């Protein structure tokens, strides 16, 4: 069963009265997301990630293309879709004077909750999102991390079957990010919620997502699991050498070296094949008299794939 | 039906909470309306207007404040979200335009009633004008007319804000004044120039003011003011809600809904 099936979605934003400017945000995006999956949408700024999520969440109308969300047609049955999905974004904002529990209750009512059901839902969300001690604090007095947690709590108020998370850990400290990621994983595990998320943190995508779409210029450039992508987008292997600066300078020009980054006494070389090049590089360093203190070979990271595709 | 009522209540409660936590709203409710009645009332004394003429002008002043306070509450339904950049959250939920406007209108009517009561007490104490002299039925119809006009203007302001974003914010305070000027706030609409008087006849409040003032010694300019007032109100309520719905759909097309949430 598919949670989302989208075909050839296109969206162009137009601005300006006298000098019309057009920005093609999506250029024929198609994707299928099975129910219960965590699907990542990655891409550089302005790639079209938020536009894609907003269309799938019924906040934006596509110019062309069609989509079925949880079995409902995106254009014909937006009301039925809205009952079953929700969304949280990293830069979410709410009414400044309302308290945490009032904000959750307000959105709960919009989904038809009232009385004891509403109260217990608010209590549950406040507890799950660790907002108990802040439940009577007004929104404008919350820290960034607490605002983010409130946004996540709000997005769970209707127990959505489909949840869109637009950079859910943006601006959070590492400890809170870890807890938010654990919550996201638990949502899928415990409730079978389908989750579509955008993030700039590659580790987050690699840790959480079953499948990832790389989007750039409004087009999906690659789609697959993190391992698939690393295999398919052949970015090479990484050889990390702890070597003095003089020795490092000669390595970037060596045949087969695709990229060279020097940081904290380490030289990270992305090469076409570690097996083939390691010996050559060590030989070269030996000949130049450089002292090699440590050598590591590692698999390419999702970040390397991202950099390659975003280039 | 129950879910409908819950969604309406959500917006009503939200407006109520916001209003109760902002000192500016207290000014809106008491200071400006009372200053209006006092200054206009004193002017009627200075000009030595007859009691009937003074009541004519005071009714206009009270209507102005009542309609304005109620209309602002309806406009806040959208303005709160524009100011807090939280617009997309409510339109992500399965709500309809009616939930938004009816909920905020209920609070607007409650606040309008408070304003009218305050001003009636002040006008009676300071200038001997008793708006309750018409009896409860006529007064209730007059107030309902004021609230219906406020609802229509408020919903149209919401539509403008959805169409033009924060650039249309000023209409929340300007639109109702224009409507009241045309509806004959301090004068019968017969004094307006021909084409403008024609526009005045298309405003529901014109008829409710006419009906209420007829009790204070002014001959009614219309044969069936209530029928016209309610008939026009019904038509405009339908139109304004259609306009707001269309404006919201447009924001989903143009992306303004997202831009207003950033």
Smallest CA–CA distance from A91 into chain B, residue: B262
Sign of CA dihedral B10, B15, B20, B22: positive
8 A C-beta contact, residue A12 and residue A24:
yes
What pLDDT does A310 receive?
A: 67
Query: Any CB–CB contact under 8 A between A106 and chain B?
Result: yes
- Structure pTM? 0.83
Decide: helix, strand or coil at residue A210. coil
Contact A82 B18 (CB under 8 A): no
Looking at this predicted complex, what is its ipTM?
0.88
Query: Any CB–CB contact under 8 A between A111 and chain B?
Result: yes
Q: What is the per-residue pLDDT across B176-228, written as a single tens digit (0 to 9) for each?
A: 888 888 888 888 888 888 888 889 999 999 999 888 888 877 777 788 889 99
- Residues 70-89 in A contacting B (C-alpha not used; CB under 8 Å): 79, 82-83, 85-87
Closest chain A C-alpha to B261 CA, distance in angstroms: 8
For the cut 80, the answer to whether the pLDDT of residue A86 exceeds it is yes
> Nearest-CA neighbor of A101 among A42, A153, A158?
A153
Mean pLDDT of chain B: 89
For the cut 80, the answer to whether the pLDDT of residue A155 exceeds it is yes
Query: Any CB–CB contact under 8 A between B98 and chain A?
Result: no
Contact B261 A98 (CB under 8 A): no
Residue A298 CB coordination number (10 Å): 12
8 A C-beta contact, residue B208 and residue B225:
yes
**Distance (Å, whole) CA A252 – CA A210:** 35
What pLDDT does A57 receive?
A: 93
8 A C-beta contact, residue A145 and residue A178:
no
pLDDT band at B239 (very low <50, low <70, confident <90, very high): very high
8 A C-beta contact, residue B11 and residue B103:
yes
Contact B17 A98 (CB under 8 A): yes
For the cut 70, the answer to whether the pLDDT of residue A235 exceeds it is no
More confident residue, B68 or B129: B68
**Distance (Å, whole) CA B138 – CA B208:** 10
**Distance (Å, whole) CA B228 – CA B239:** 16
- Contact list in A for residue B85 (CB cut-off 8 A) is 93
8 A C-beta contact, residue A230 and residue A38:
no
Smallest CA–CA distance from A62 into chain B, residue: B253
8 A C-beta contact, residue B12 and residue B106:
yes
pLDDT band at A230 (very low <50, low <70, confident <90, very high): confident
Q: What is the per-residue pLDDT across A89-131, written as a single tens digit (0 to 9) for each?
A: 877 789 899 999 999 999 999 999 999 999 999 999 998 888 8
- Contact list in B for residue A61 (CB cut-off 8 A) is 249, 252-253
Q: What are the angstrom distances between the C-alpha of B85 and each of A92, B78, B80, B81, B90?
A: 8, 10, 8, 5, 11
Q: What percentage of chain B has pLDDT greater than the value 90?
A: 50
Sign of CA dihedral A283, A288, A294, A295: negative
Smallest CA–CA distance from B19 into chain A, residue: A97
- Contact list in B for residue A91 (CB cut-off 8 A) is 262
pLDDT band at A270 (very low <50, low <70, confident <90, very high): confident
A112: nearest CB among B6, B14, B249? B6
For the cut 70, the answer to whether the pLDDT of residue A234 exceeds it is no
**Distance (Å, whole) CA A37 – CA A288:** 52
Q: Mean pLDDT, to the nearest integer, of B140-152?
A: 94
- Contact list in B for residue A166 (CB cut-off 8 A) is none
**Distance (Å, whole) CA B73 – CA B141:** 20
Q: Cα B96 to chain center, whole Å?
A: 21
Contact A79 B93 (CB under 8 A): no
Sign of CA dihedral A195, A196, A201, A202: positive
Contact A13 B90 (CB under 8 A): no
Q: Mean pLDDT, to the nearest integer, of B156-163?
A: 93
Question: Token pair for residue B230?
Answer: 């309610």
In degrees and rounded to multiples of 5, residue B84 shows phi and psi of -90, 0
For the cut 80, the answer to whether the pLDDT of residue A216 exceeds it is yes
Sign of CA dihedral A89, A90, A95, A98: positive
Sheet holding A38-42, edge to edge: A85-89, A162-166, A194-198, A38-42, A211-216, A219-224
Contact B14 A106 (CB under 8 A): yes
More confident residue, A182 or B150: B150
3-state helix, strand, coil in chain A (%, to 5): 40, 30, 30
Sheet holding A72-73, edge to edge: A21-34, A2-15, A64-69, A72-73
- Contact list in A for residue B21 (CB cut-off 8 A) is 97, 138
Size of interface A-B (CB pairs under 8 A): 90
DSSP lists the bridge partners of residue A262 as A267
Closest chain A C-alpha to B85 CA, distance in angstroms: 6
Smallest CA–CA distance from A106 into chain B, residue: B10
> Nearest-CA neighbor of A242 among A265, A260, A269, A270?
A265
Q: What are the angstrom distances between the C-alpha of A129 and each of A96, A123, A132, B55?
A: 20, 10, 8, 59
Closest chain B C-alpha to A166 CA, distance in angstroms: 13
Best B77, B78, B255 residue to mutate vs chain A (most A CBs within 10 Å) = B255
Contact A61 B7 (CB under 8 A): no
A294 sits in which H/E element: strand A292-298
What pLDDT does A233 receive?
A: 66
Contact B17 A111 (CB under 8 A): no
B89: nearest CB among A50, A79, A107? A107
What pLDDT does A154 receive?
A: 93
- Residues 147-176 in A contacting B (C-alpha not used; CB under 8 Å): 154, 158
Residues 6+ apart with CB under 8 A from A130: A149, A179
Across A68-77, A137-146, A229-238, B114-123, least confident range: A229-238
In degrees and rounded to multiples of 5, residue A169 shows phi and psi of -110, 15
Place of tokens 């990390």: A240
Q: What are the angstrom distances between the C-alpha of A165 and each of A39, A162, A194, A252, B203?
A: 10, 10, 11, 40, 47
Q: Cα B42 to chain center, whole Å?
A: 25
For the cut 90, the answer to whether the pLDDT of residue B103 exceeds it is yes
Mean pLDDT of chain A: 86
8 A C-beta contact, residue A77 and residue A84:
no
Q: What are the angstrom distances between the C-alpha of A54 and each of A107, A196, B244?
A: 19, 11, 21
8 A C-beta contact, residue B131 and residue B62:
yes
Contact B9 A83 (CB under 8 A): no
Decide: helix, strand or coil at residue A110. helix
More confident residue, A57 or A266: A57
For the cut 80, the answer to whether the pLDDT of residue B69 exceeds it is yes
B94: nearest CB among A60, A98, A111? A111
Q: Mean pLDDT, to the nearest integer, of A147-165?
A: 92
3-state helix, strand, coil in chain B (%, to 5): 85, 0, 15
Q: Cα A117 to chain center, whole Å?
A: 32
**Distance (Å, whole) CA A193 – CA A200:** 22
DSSP lists the bridge partners of residue A166 as A89, A198
Decide: helix, strand or coil at residue A200. coil
**Distance (Å, whole) CA A173 – CA B86:** 24
Query: Any CB–CB contact under 8 A between B250 and chain A?
Result: no
Query: Any CB–CB contact under 8 A between B213 and chain A?
Result: no
């Amino acid at each position: 069963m598919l949670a989302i099936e989208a075909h050839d979605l296109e969206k162009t934003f137009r601005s300006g009265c006298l000098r019309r400017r057009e920005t093609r945000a999506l250029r024929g995006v198609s994707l299928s997301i099975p129910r219960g999956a965590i699907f990542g949408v990655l891409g550089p700024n302005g790639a079209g990630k938020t536009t894609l999520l907003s269309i799938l969440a019924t906040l934006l109308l596509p110019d062309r293309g069609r989509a079925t969300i949880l079995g409902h047609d995106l254009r014909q049955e937006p009301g039925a879709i809205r009952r079953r999905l929700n969304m949280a974004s990293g830069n979410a904002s709410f009414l400044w004077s309302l308290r945490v529990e009032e904000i959750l209750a307000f959105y709960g009512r919009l989904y038809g909750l009232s009385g004891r059901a509403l109260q217990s839902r608010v209590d549950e969300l406040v507890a799950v999102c660790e907002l108990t001690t802040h439940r009577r604090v007004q929104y404008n007095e919350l820290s960034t991390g607490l605002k983010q947690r409130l946004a996540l709590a709000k997005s769970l108020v209707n127990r959505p079957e489909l949840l869109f998370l637009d950079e859910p850990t943006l601006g959070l400290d590492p400890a809170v990010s870890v807890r938010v990621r654990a919550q996201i994983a638990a949502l899928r595990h415990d409730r079978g919620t389908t989750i579509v998320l955008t993030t700039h943190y590659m580790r987050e995508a690699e840790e959480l997502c079953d499948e990832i779409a790389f989007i750039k210029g409004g087009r999906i450039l690659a789609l697959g699991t993190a391992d698939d992508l690393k295999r398919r987008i052949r970015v090479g292997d990484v050889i990390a050498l702890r070597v003095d600066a003089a020795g490092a300078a000669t390595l970037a020009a060596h045949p087969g070296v695709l990229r060279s980054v020097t940081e904290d006494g380490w030289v990270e070389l992305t090469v076409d094949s570690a097996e083939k090049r390691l010996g050559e590089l060590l030989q070269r360093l030996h000949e130049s008299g450089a002292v090699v203190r440590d050598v590591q070979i590692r698999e390419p990271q999702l970040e390397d794939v991202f950099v390659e595709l975003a280039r | 039906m129950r879910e409908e009522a819950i969604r309406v209540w959500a917006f009503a409660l939200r407006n109520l909470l916001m209003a109760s936590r902002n000192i500016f709203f207290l000014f809106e409710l008491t200071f400006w309306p009372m200053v209006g009645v006092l200054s206009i009332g004193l002017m009627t004394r200075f000009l030595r207007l007859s009691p009937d003429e003074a009541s004519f002008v005071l009714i206009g002043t009270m209507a102005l404040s009542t309609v304005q306070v109620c209309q602002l509450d309806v406009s806040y339904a959208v303005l709160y979200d524009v100011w807090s950049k939280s617009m997309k959250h409510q339109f992500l939920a399965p709500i309809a335009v009616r939930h938004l406007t009816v909920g905020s209108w209920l609070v607007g009517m409650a606040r309008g009633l408070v304003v009218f009561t305050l001003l009636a007490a002040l006008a009676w104490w300071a200038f001997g004008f008793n708006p309750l002299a018409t009896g409860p039925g006529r007064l209730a119809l007059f107030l309902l007319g004021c609230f219906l006009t406020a609802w229509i203007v408020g919903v149209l302001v919401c539509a403008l804000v959805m169409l033009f974003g924060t650039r249309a914010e000023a209409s929340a305070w300007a639109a109702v004044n224009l409507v009241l000027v045309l509806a004959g706030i301090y004068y019968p609409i017969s004094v307006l120039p021909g084409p403008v008087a024609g526009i005045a006849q298309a405003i529901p409040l014109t008829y409710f003011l006419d009906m209420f003032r007829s009790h204070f010694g002014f001959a009614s300019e219309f044969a069936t003011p209530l029928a016209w007032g309610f008939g026009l109100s019904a038509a405009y309520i339908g139109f304004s809600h259609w306009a707001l719905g269309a404006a919201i759909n447009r924001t989903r097309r143009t992306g303004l809904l997202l831009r207003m949430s950033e």
